[in-house]
Structure formats: structure tokens, C-alpha cells
Chains A and B, each alone.
Chain A
Amino acid sequence: MTCHTPANAALGGGLIALVGHSNVGKSALFQKLTGQRVIVANYPGTTVALARGRLLATPGVALVDTPGVVTLPARSEDERITARVLLDEPLDAVVQVGDAKNLPKTLNLTLQLAELGLPLVLALNMVDEAGPGIDSEGLAGLLGVPVILTAAVHGQGLAQLGAALPQACPSSRRLPYPPAIESALAEMIPLLPSGQTSKRGLALLYLCGDSEVEGWLSRRRAPEALENLNSIRRRAQAALLPQPLAEAVQAARWQAAEVLAAQVHGPAATRPPFRSRLAQWTIHPFWGLPILLAVLVALFWFVGVVGAQWLVGLLETNLFGEVINPALTAFVRRTIPLEWLADLLVGEYGLWTLGVTYAAALILPIVTTFFLAFGLLEDSGYLPRLAALSNRWFRALGLNGRAILPMVLGLGCVTMATLTTRTLETRRERFLVTLLLALAVPCSAQLGVVMGLLASVSPAAAALWAGVVLMVLFAVGALAARLAPGERQPLVLELPPLRWPLLANIVVKTLARLEWYLREVVPMFLLGALLMFLLDRSGALAGLVRLAEPLTVGWLGLPAAAAPAFVLGFLRRDFGAAGFFILSAAGLLSPAQTVVAMVTITLFIPCIASVLVIAREHGWRVALGMFVLIFPLAFLVGGMLQRLLAFIGFGA
């Protein structure tokens, strides 16, 4: 491969963007090249915002990891983020990360990026799964850019990729289009402003109706010039009818990509037969359900029994309850003469005894087990298959199976999952999934506490809790789907192959998530403890308990001591659930009361961080509307359930 005009031969400084389809290993490559931890998983949509870092090998060079695109023009919010990077960021090079197994699709995007005229390097990733025989030298010669074979998760090809970055250069490949498109391009190019991308690439995106390019042009050209461009586009479309312009452009690219792929591709690798068969079983209309059930039972056992019972018992009861807290309390009482200060630290609502003990001894072991199990599921590639299996269930909610990806992610953290709704195509889908996340999807910490509590009651209690929460989720979802304007989008989803997860990746991302979790949760727990302490000292807590009595005791049938748990629930739902955990451990909750409390706190308003993200993504009106709907609904369902359980004599 010869490159005559490398954009930045030395790359002593500058910015490189990682661009590519979803689920091709961009984040894994980013992690290896920068040493920075980002969440990597085997499903599309892991990256919904930009991650930035510096190359380990060349610290002066910044690297930006972009959300995956299916193609340009961008359709979803995360694809628009990538389009904006290509248009606006001062890029010195673009590294396209492509799936080596799916060469025609990868090269289709390569041709599109080549048209944009940016200095390019193609990293054909997952080469370990693609089989031997991709002629990277030949492909580099045909494209006029460096082509490197990599397997990012194994660290293969990274040194070669680093060495190729200074050789990045605009591709010499120029794709011919039908005459109507070529003449439209010739007319448009003189009318376009100069930018870092080529005018031909910009003109092609404009012809295909790219809203990001339209916006970019409207900021740089007068309305008359824009009208001129629009009329050229209309004429080109009229000449091509009945075929849409974007389709004609794509058809030409596919044809060229297939020809290129055929020239450089060797024999394809065969997949292990058992894994292929298992992959098919996971979405089989019959066998898919027992597999899902087995996954859920295993998750319940690992988080609910190993995490919430065994590990919590070890930490909360044995370590904190019998060793650390008594010793620390005695030490503080002995050394601090001010009673209120000692109480603030180690009293009933002390910063240590409530804030730190809840976070470190109760929630931490639960989220650790959950993140480990969740990482295993993510990396196996099961989640997209679950989306295909569950598509029919989401039809009633006006959604398609893709909605399950943010919802399952919500079992990790609702705040993060609300951001992941950006991968959904329409505003309507994003709104509906955000509502369901805020209403009925418990986050990992809360789910772990709920599982632990219900596992100590009975499997029937767990089934009852799950049944009621799912019923509310489906009822509200179906109603919202009828009221929300817009149409349902049918499912189109690429299914990655099932893979054996790498232990190192699971451990790394569990640690990354735990670090993030502790940073977010500990200050919030300390704030909660401080709030409870102040309410208690001022006598307001007793007043609040009395005030809430008609609701907690009269309507929900819970003990009066449940009111503080709901106050904590305003800060974080898992904090509230942890309050109930302590009540239950003290023998203050009957089985029926436990189920009612868990259903109510699950349907309770989401944590403050989630509300802020909902407001940022959908505006304060929507966030407020959700609050107004969710808060009374949680108590309405809890009270009705309490009466139903009393009627059937559950746990009596």
C-alpha cells in the first residue's frame, strides 16, 4: 500500500476517532489502546456517548470512541453523535473498526468513510473468528489505506495498528454512481462549503437525506443556496424514480463492497456446531423459554442466595454487626464527649452505622454478584437473542424486542439504561422505554435486596412479586403505547454469535462498575443518613411517621417503622429497600408485608440521578409527569395487593 499524503505523518498530537458498526469491538480496542476502562459487551449499543482517552503508545494523541452506526445517514440519536464527530471534530484520522467475519458489510461502511475523504485506517477486528485467508495487503492496495488484522480482546494486532496510525491517509478509492447521481454531485460540489470532509462525501450524504449534514449546511450557507441544493436533490430523485436516491447509492456501494470482499476473502471459518445449535435454541419458540427460565433461576440463586444471603450475612452480620460496628461505636463514644456528634457518626441514623454499613455491607456484596452475573450474560451474546425471543411480548407495549436491551441493562442501573434508550430509533420508543424503566425496572442493588428478602420468605413470594411488577409494567406500557403518538417500529436486529466470555473482561468491567457505583452511591447514602439524623434529632421523623401512618399502616398494612424506609427511597430505591431488609431481619415484617413492601418500593420513583437523566433526555415536563404518575401508582398497587393477600390468606 502506498500513501502519498498522510494527514499527520508524525501524529505527534491530534485526534483520532474509532468508528464502525455496532458490536464490532470498538470499545474493546479503545480500552486496549488507551488503557482506559469502558464497558465492553457482546451486544449492540454499549456505547451511547463519546468516550475519550489518550493513546498509551503516543500520549500526545487523543482517541475518541464513538457509538456504533448501522450506516450513514444517521437515524438514531447515538448514530447522530457519531455523524457529528465526523463533521465537526478536528480529526487527524479515522480508524474504522470492522467485523472481519462480515467483510461485505464492513467494506460497505469503509467505502462510505473513504468518500468522506478523512485519513483512514481499517482495523479488521475479530479476525480470530473469521478464519484464515483475508488478504489484508491486497485490500490495503485496493482501498489505498492501511488495513490491519486485529483481535482486540486478545490484544492481537495492536502494535501493528499503532504503527499504522501515522500512515493514515484519505482513500484513493472513488466509487462510480448512476449517471443521475453523478451529474447531481457535479452540480452540488461547487455550492458546498469547505470542511474537513470531502465535498463529494458531503454531497452524497445530503442526497441521501442526512439530517445532520442538512443542519451543518444550514449553519454555513444562505437559504437561497440551500434551496438550490434541494432542487438539485429533487431533480436527481425524479430522474431515478421509482428507486429512492438513498437506495440507489446504497445499492452501488453494496455491489462494490461485495466485489472487493470476493477479491480478498479466503475461506470462511466454520462455527463450532454445539454453539451454533445452542444459539438457535435460545431463540427457539419452545426451547427458548426453558433456557430463559434457567438463566433467571441461576441469576436469582447467584444474586439472591450467594450475594444477598451468604455474602451479606458474612459482611453485615458477622463482620460489621459483631466486630467493626461494636468496636467503632465503643471507641467513638469513649473519645467524643459530644453526644450529638457521636450519634451523628455511630447512632441509629449515624453516617457510619447507616450510610457506610448499608453501602459497604449490604449493597456492595449484592451488586458485586449482580455485576459478575450480568457481565457473563452480556459477553455471552445472549441478550440480543433474548430481544428476538421477547419481540412478541413487546408488541403489546407498542415496542419491539430491542426495548429489552435497555430494560435488562436497567437491572444493572436505571440511570445508565435511560441513556441507552438513545439506541432506539424513534422518540416514541425512547419515551415508552424510559417510562417503563422509571416505573417498574429495579436496579441491581434494589433487585439484589429484593431477591435476598424474598428468597428468605418463599419462592411463591418471589413469583408473586415478579408477577405483580410485570403486570403493572405491561398494563401501564400497553396504555402508554395507545396514548403516545407515532407508530410501532418492527424489529430489525443483528444477532452476534454466542461466545465463551473472557474472565478477564468480566472482572475488569465488574471492577469498573463497582468503582462507579461506590462513587455514586456512598455520597448519596451519607446524605441520606445525614437527612435521617436531622429529621430524627429535630423530631420531624416522628411527625413524619405519624403523618405517613394512614398511608403506610392504614393503606399498605405495614408497621409504622416502614415510613423511614420510604423517606430513604426518595433518595434511592435501593436505599429504601435496604431499610426494609433491616426491618425484616429484625422480624418486624410478615411474609405478606414483605411482598407488599417490595412491590411498592420497586414501583417507587427512581433515584435522583435517574430523574436528572430523564429530565436531560426528555425535558423537565416529562420527568415531572412521570413522577406524578409513578408516586401514587406505587402506593395504589401496594394497597390493592395488601387487600388481595389478606383476602386469599397469603402468609397468614
Chain B
Amino acid sequence: MNTLTCPLCGVEFQAGDPSACAACPLASDCRLVCCPNCGYQQPDPAGSRLARWAARWFERGDGPAPPPAACELAPFCTLADCQPNQPACIRAFHPELSSARRELLHAHGLAPGRTVTVLQQKPVTVVQIGAAELALETGLAGMIEIEPPEAS
């Protein structure tokens, strides 16, 4: 569930909190969320593609820090989950990855135990291995498991 901060009164609440919408006749199919404390309405960024895009755009400047990477939350995750410029230590390949792909990744230096830096995620995942940059399809990057940052 998405945690929001009311811009008017500063109360933190969950976007789907039913107490905030109980009295509102527009409760169903509404893209706005109300603060359970003061009733102030705001759009839920998670519900609007445009809002998500705009929020990301403004966060690039001096705005609030980006949300923590999934890697910091899960015991281990994949290269596809890393934030740009985040170093990652490769833990293992997903068992479903074909041996030919594993060999190819190995040959490019993506081997368990090696540390790489993710440079970007879209339109493809780009990782820096030493001085070389390697472009990987994000689906493939999602099959390369990495150690959580604390351990790497």
C-alpha cells in the first residue's frame, strides 16, 4: 500500500485507508485520496501514469530522495532491481537461465562473486564491468541475482 503525506496537515496515511474515503460519495473509481485527518484531497501518484512520470521528473533535481531499491529490502534481488549508479555483487544466476546464456554472461565478465555497477535500467539494463559497458535486456538482468548492498 502506498504511504502518502498530507501536504496540508502533514499527517502520514495509507492511500487505500478506508477511513479517509468513507464519507465521500465519489469513493469508487476516484483517483483522488483524502487525508483522514483534515480531508484534503490529493492525487495518488501510484494511480496515475502521468503523475508517476511527473513525480520522477521532479525527483531528479533536489527533491526528495528516490525510494529505496528493492535490493535494500529483500534478502537478495536481481540486477533489474538496482537503481542507477548502484554497485552490485553478483550472487548467482537464476536456475531457469539456459547454459548458453550463462556462458555468454560469464564470458562478458558477469560471473558470481564479481561486482558491477548498474548505469541505467531503461530501455535496457546497462552495467559497467571494469571499464566496459554491457547492455542487457532487462528480462535477462532480472535473472541475475545479486547480494544485498550491505553484503557486497
Supposing A70-B104, A251-B111, A254-B114 touch, asked if A102 and B132 sit within 8 A by C-beta, the answer is: yes
- Counting chain A CB atoms within 10 Å of each CB, the highest count among B99, B132, B135 belongs to B135
Q: Do A247 and B135 form a contact, CB below 8 Å, given A103-B130, A283-B123, A285-B122?
A: no
Is A401's CB within 8 Å of the partner chain B?
yes
Contact with A along B109-124 (1 / 0, CB 8 A): 1011110000110111
- Which chain A residues in 573-588 approach chain B with CB under 8 Å? none
A389 to B114, CA, bound (A): 26
Question: Within the assembled complex, what's the spacing in Å between the Cα atoms of A130 and B126?
Answer: 21
Q: Are B119 and A280 in contact (CB under 8 A)?
A: yes
| Complex contact A75–B104 (CB within 8 A) | yes
Task: Chain B residues near A392: list those with CB within 8 A.
Answer: 123
Q: B residues within 8 A CB of A645? A: none
The answer to whether B130 touches A494, judged by C-beta atoms less than 8 angstroms apart, is: no
Q: Given A71-B107, A254-B106, is A400 in contact with B137 using a C-beta cutoff of 8 Å? A: yes
Q: In the complex, A284 Cα to B120 Cα: how many Å?
A: 8
Which chain B residue lies CB-closest to A104? B130
| Interchain nearest-CB distance for A110 vs B (Å) | 14
Cα distance, A244 to B102, chains bound together (Å): 9
Given the interface pairs A105-B108, A491-B135, the reply to whether A244 lies near B123 with Cβ below 8 Å is no
Q: With an 8 A cutoff between CB atoms, is A56 at the interface?
A: no
The answer, yes or no, to whether B103 is at the interface (CB within 8 Å) is yes
A71 touches B109 (CB 8 A): no
Judged by a CB distance under 8 angstroms, whether B140 is at the interface is: yes
- Nearest Cβ in chain A — how far from B17, in angstroms? 34
Separation of A138 and B104 alpha carbons in the complex (Å): 30
List of B residues within 8 angstroms of A71 by Cβ: 103, 106-107
A494 and B123 contact, Cβ closer than 8 Å, known pairs A244-B102, A250-B103: no
Chain A's closest residue to B133 (CB) is A495
Please determine whether B111 and A495 come into contact, CB atoms closer than 8 angstroms.
no
Q: Is A490 part of the binding interface, using a Cβ–Cβ cutoff of 8 Å?
A: yes
Given A400-B137, A494-B134: A388 and B102 interface contact (C-beta under 8 Å):
no
B5 CB to nearest chain A CB (Å): 28
CB pair A491–B137 under 8 Å, yes or no, is yes
Partner of B135, one of A70, A99, A495: A495
Asked if A492 meets B122 with Cβ closer than 8 Å, knowing A104-B109, A105-B108, A247-B102, the reply is no
Interface core residue of B114, B122, B124, B137 (most chain A CB under 10 Å): B124
User: Is A401 in contact with B109, judged by CB distance below 8 angstroms?
Assistant: no
- Per-residue CB contact flags for chain A residues 97-139 toward chain B (1 = under 8 Å, else 0) read 0010111110010000000000000000000001000000000
* A246: interface (CB < 8 Å): yes
Say whether, besides A101-B131, A105-B132, A492 and B103 are in contact (CB < 8 Å): no
Q: Inside 8 A of B136's CB, which chain A residues have their CB? A: 490-492
- Pairwise interchain contact A495-B134, C-beta atoms closer than 8 A: yes
Q: Who on chain A is nearest to B120 by CB?
A: A280
Chain A residues with Cβ under 8 A from B140's Cβ?
Answer: 490-492
The reply on B105 being an interface residue by CB < 8 A is yes
Residues A498-532 near B (CB distance < 8 A): none
Q: Is the CB of A250 within 8 A of B137?
A: no
Distance (whole angstroms) from the CB of A114 to the closest CB of chain B: 17
Cα-based distance from A493 to B124 in the complex (angstroms): 10
Q: How far is the CB of A46 from chain B (nearest CB, A)?
A: 18
Interface membership of B100, Cβ < 8 A: yes
Q: Does B7 contact A (CB under 8 A)?
A: no
A314 CA to B142 CA in the complex, in Å? 56
Shortest C-beta distance, B150 to chain A (Å), equals 23
B94 at the interface (CB under 8 A from A): no
* A596 within 8 A of partner (CB): no
Q: Is B139 an interface residue (CB 8 A)?
A: yes
- A283 proximity list for chain B (CB < 8 A): 120, 123-124, 126, 135
Residues in A with CB closer than 8 Å to B124 are 283, 388, 391, 401, 491
CB pair B108–A70 under 8 Å, yes or no, is: yes
Q: Is B52 an interface residue (CB 8 A)?
A: no
| Alpha-carbon separation in the docked complex, A105 to B111 (Å) | 12
B31 lies within 8 A of chain A by Cβ: no
A387 and B135: CB pair below 8 A?
yes
In the assembly, what is the distance between CA of A102 and CA of B113, in Å?
A: 18
Name the interface residues of A208-261: CB closer than 8 Å to any CB of B: 208, 244, 246-247, 250-251, 254-255, 258
Once A250-B111, A283-B135, A400-B137 are accepted as A-B contacts, the answer to whether A495 and B103 lie under 8 Å apart by CB is no
Given A70-B108, A388-B124: A246 and B103 interface contact (C-beta under 8 Å): yes
- The answer to whether A629 has its CB under 8 Å from any CB of chain B is no
- Chain B residues whose CB sits within 8 angstroms of the CB of A73 once the complex forms: 103
User: What is the CB-to-nearest-CB distance from A473 to chain B, in angstroms, rounded to a whole number?
Assistant: 20
A501 to B100, CA, bound (A): 35
For the complex formed, measure the closest distance between the CB of A434 and the CB atoms of chain B, giving whole angstroms.
Answer: 22
Q: Which residue of B lies closest to A385 (CB)?
A: B135
Give the Cβ gap from A580 to chain B, nearest Cβ, in Å: 37
Does any Cβ of B come within 8 Å of A278's Cβ? no
User: Which residues from A are CB-within-8-Å of B108?
Assistant: 70, 105, 492, 494
B114 to chain A, nearest CB (A): 7
**Are A391 and B102 touching (Cβ within 8 A)?**
no
Task: Judge whether A186 is part of the interface by a CB distance below 8 angstroms.
Answer: no
Q: Which A residues lie within 8 Å of B120 (CB)?
A: 280, 283-284
B111 (CB) vs chain A CBs: closest residue:
A254
A247 and B126 form a contact (CB under 8 A): no
| Residue A544, interface by CB 8 Å | no
Distance between A96 CB and nearest chain B CB, rounded to angstroms: 15
> Does B104 lie within 8 Å of A493, measured CB to CB?
no
Interchain CA distance A352-B91 in the complex, whole Å: 69
Q: Is B137 a contact partner of A105 (Cβ separation < 8 A)?
A: no
When chains A and B are docked, how far (Å) is the Cα of A99 from the Cα of B108?
13
User: CA separation between A254 and B116, bound complex, in Å?
Assistant: 14
Please tell me if the beta carbons of B123 and A70 are within 8 angstroms of each other in the complex.
Answer: no
Chain A 366-392: CB-based contact to B (< 8 A → 1; otherwise 0): 000000000000000000100111011
Bound-state CA distance A429–B67 (Å) is 39
Interface residues of A in 268-293 (CB under 8 A from B): 268, 279-280, 283-285, 288
Which residues of chain A are within 8 angstroms of B133 by Cβ–Cβ distance?
A: 279, 494-495, 497
A391–B105 Cα distance when bound, in Å, is 18
Query: How many Å from the CB of A82 to the closest CB on chain B?
Result: 14
**Is the CB–CB distance between A493 and B134 below 8 Å?**
yes
Does B111 lie within 8 Å of A492, measured CB to CB? no
Complex: how many Å from CA A84 to CA B124? 34
In the assembled complex, which residues on chain B have CB atoms less than 8 Å from the CB atom of A103?
Answer: 130
Most buried by A among B99, B103, B140: B103
Name 23 interchain pairs, CB-CB below 8 A, sorted by A. Answer: A75-B104, A102-B132, A105-B132, A108-B107, A108-B109, A130-B131, A247-B102, A247-B103, A255-B113, A280-B119, A283-B124, A285-B123, A388-B135, A389-B123, A391-B123, A391-B135, A491-B140, A492-B101, A492-B108, A492-B134, A492-B137, A492-B140, A494-B108
User: A-side interface residues toward B, CB under 8 Å?
Assistant: 70-71, 73, 75, 99, 101-105, 108, 130, 208, 244, 246-247, 250-251, 254-255, 258, 268, 279-280, 283-285, 288, 384, 387-389, 391-392, 400-401, 490-495, 497
Q: Which 4 A-B pairs have the closest CB atoms?
A: A71-B107, A490-B137, A101-B131, A388-B135
Besides A108-B109, A490-B140, 6 new A-B residue pairs in contact (Cβ under 8 A), listed by A number: A283-B124, A285-B123, A392-B123, A492-B104, A492-B108, A492-B140
